Amino acid sequence: MGDSLNIEFGKRSVAIPFLLALLAFSGTVPAAEDILIADFEKVKTEDKKSPEKKWKFEGTSFVHAARGQFSEVSRDRNRHFSLSGVQGKMVLASVADKDIDSGTGHGLSPEFIIERKYIKFLISGGRYPGRTCLNLLIDGSVVRSAAGNYSATMKEAAFDVSKYLGKSARVEIVDRETRLWGHICVDNIVQSDNPASVVISALHRSSVLQGTVHTPDSILSGRLNVADGQLQVDGRPVPIDDIILVDFNRDDTGDESSHLVKLTSGDILNADFESREDGKLNLNGTIIGSHLVDIDAVAQLDFSSRTDGPHSNRKGYLYLRNADPIPGSPLKIDRGSVEFECPLGAITLPRDRLLSYRFKRDQENAGLVASDEIGLLDGSVLRGTVALDGENMVVTNRVLTSISVAWSNVRYLRRARTDVMWLSQATDVKTDLKGAPFPPSEPHAVNAGVRCNGGFLTATRLGAKTMARYKMPAAAGKREFRTVMAPILGLREDVVFSLEISGKSIFKQTLDPETEPKMLALDLPAGDELVVNVDFGERLAYPCGVDMGDAYVVTQQ
C-alpha 373, offset from chain centre? 19
Specify the pLDDT at position 38.
Answer: 92
Nearest to 549 by CA among 245, 166, 99: 245
Specify the pLDDT at position 114.
Answer: 96
Span 61-109, pLDDT tens digits: 888 787 766 765 554 444 456 778 888 888 898 887 666 777 888 899 9
Specify the pLDDT at position 127.
Answer: 78
Q: Summarize the confidence of residues 144-163 as an average pLDDT.
A: 88
Specify the pLDDT at position 421.
Answer: 92
Q: Are 149 and 124 in contact (CB under 8 A)?
A: yes
In the chain, the percentage of residues whose pLDDT exceeds 90 is: 37
Specify the pLDDT at position 384.
Answer: 92
Specify the pLDDT at position 230.
Answer: 85
Specify the pLDDT at position 52.
Answer: 63
Distance CA 264, CA 258 (A): 20
Distance CA 21, CA 111 (A): 33
Span 294-328, pLDDT tens digits: 999 999 999 876 554 445 678 999 998 888 899 99
Distance CA 315, CA 302 (A): 13
Q: Is the pLDDT of residue 461 over 60?
A: yes
Where in 398-528 does DSSP place strands (E)? Answer: 401-406, 410-414, 420-422, 429-433, 444-450, 456-463, 466-471, 479-487, 495-501, 504-511, 518-523
- How sure is the predictor about 160, in pLDDT bands with cuts at 50, 70 and 90? very high
Tell me what the pLDDT averaged over the chain comes to: 81
Lowest-confidence pick of 93-97, 181-185, 498-502: 93-97
Specify the pLDDT at position 260.
Answer: 87
Distance CA 377, CA 253 (A): 6
Specify the pLDDT at position 252.
Answer: 60
Specify the pLDDT at position 43.
Answer: 60
Q: Which of 25-39, 62-76, 517-531 has the highest mean pLDDT?
A: 517-531
Would you mind telling me the total number of residues written for the chain in this entry? 557
Specify the pLDDT at position 31.
Answer: 66
Q: Summarize the confidence of residues 224-231 as an average pLDDT.
A: 82
Q: Which domains does the chain have, with CATH numbers?
A: 1-30 (no CATH), 35-200 (2.60.120), 210-247 (no CATH), 250-416 (no CATH), 420-555 (2.60.120.1060)
Task: Classify burial at 430, counting beta carbons within 10 Å of its beta carbon; exposed 0-12, middle 13-18, buried 19 or more.
Answer: exposed
